[in-house]
Structure 1
Amino acid sequence: MEYIFHPTILESRYYVVPNRFVSPARIVKDYEFDFYIDGEREMWIDDVYYTINAGSLIIRTPGQKAYSRGDYNCYMLTLDFSNRFLPNYSRNKSLEIQPLYDSPIWKMLPTVFKPAHSDDYIRIFKSLATINMPDINDHPHAIALVNELLHLIVADSYYYHTPQINFSKDDIDKVCNYIKFHYSENITLDELADIAHINKNYLIRKFKKQFNLSPISYLIQYRLDMAKKLLSKTDLPIKTIVFQCGFNDYSYFCFLFKKTFSITPAQYRASKIMTE
């Protein structure tokens, strides 16, 4: 049988991550496909923030920067399109970055989305995970399963690239105003997309075009700006400000604050007191 895709399978397994595990920043070396069965994960890919949960499919490509935190169970599949095989493969090893596969297909695939055919994805990922490495590439059905998976991904991702002709600047303003009045609440990307009445991947593209930020990154930046105001204008304890501004983790807030403003929340408050 002739197949469109002829990758080498570097890794295929089911992965269980403990509570609140923090994955350090790394450079993606190969083509990675993760399908989530359970749990919740916060992920940054090329500094774009995503919330991941059951049913999410993640597609990472060579050269991207990725880091994350959370507890989750997922199927992992790593592919190579440059005709190399690496025994005892691990995504965290110091390896050369695989050359990008020259195909327009990759440009149309969203980084994160929830495909419609979740049962088919589970069947394919589960079947691949049960085939022993390193003999998986010699298995008669492995490449057929990978091709079926890639065809499903292409078909399911088409929806996320369908133009939304009725979307306007007023819809972006509607989302921004919602963030302004509800930033202290637990807001999800799905919720913001529902407000604008469009799919979330299209909303991400429109936000990036106007603000150079994803909707969730815009929300986080707004929360940080409000935290700065409260730090300088009130005597509220920092931990109180953290939760009032919609963050649910003090350490993570401090990490984001320093990363964004190059100063800790306590140092920022002290500097404002000294200048008054």
Structure 2
Amino acid sequence: MDKVAAPVSQDESVPAHPDLDPRHPLVVFGDHRFCAGETLVVQRMPGPHMHSQIELNFLLNGQMTYWFDGRELTIGAGRLCLFWGMVPHQVTDIEKDTRFVCLYVPMSVFLGLANLSQFRDAVFRGAVIEATVIRPFDQDIFLRWREELLQGDEGLTEIVRSELTARVLRIEREGWRDLREHAPAIAGLSSKDSGRAGHVEQMLRFIAEHALEDISVDHVARDVGLHPNYAMNLFKRAVGQTMNQAIARHRLDTARSLLISTDMSITNVAFESGFGSVSRFYEAFTARFGDRPSAFRRRMQAKADARGE
């Protein structure tokens, strides 16, 4: 799974649209593996993309700027950041020859860490977590993890999983900050529910893959074989938001990406993003982003024009 997305959707659950601008596609990866980016060279991306894993970026040299959930964040050499890939993101600017190690970690790794409730909740809520303590040997370790993951050896992959889990625990213990300045709320699985981490990951994946369809809590619960009431409560305890909130967030993130990356009409954006009503779309979009869809598009286009795109 490379950092630079090809200009086509790799997930057939995302509906195609004849107005989709091929120069700036919305890409949703269907890959859920524990893996590493094949290239070290950071490249500017043609449009936003999403994927289900937690993404870790260790910048080896240079500087890169992300468009992340409506904000621009610049990261320099020697910094380590992680975020949930289901929040639309895009590399918009780089210094020449910038290099990084990019790792993709399944959600189950985070759901299984019982002591990370506040940290994990921040990730689920769209934080860009930066480690405030970096060790001199971190660069060599991340390069080794990348090399071993690219070998495709299951035994090595399990070793990397254990070592990377320990590194995440150290980030939580030694200090971290949210580059988007979101105040995290406390959420997480109790010891009684710790064995259900796989179910929560499956629910998150089902929502990520089917949120643009006409789905409900019942559909999500049925997919994991749980009673809807239990599934709802389990999901809320683990993720810190309801299933309906998670579905709505994915739809709104998709809509925002389409507004930025295509010339699709507002009505078509609403329906392509899974909203059954244009008025409901306007209401939900304005409530979350503080702008009507048309005003948001004009503002983003003005920024792109100012950058000479």
Is TM-score (shorter-chain normalized) higher than 0.5? no
TM-score (norm: length of structure 2): 0.35
Structure showing the higher strand proportion among its residues: 1
TM-score by structure 1 length? 0.39
Larger Cα Rg: Structure 1 or Structure 2?
A: 1
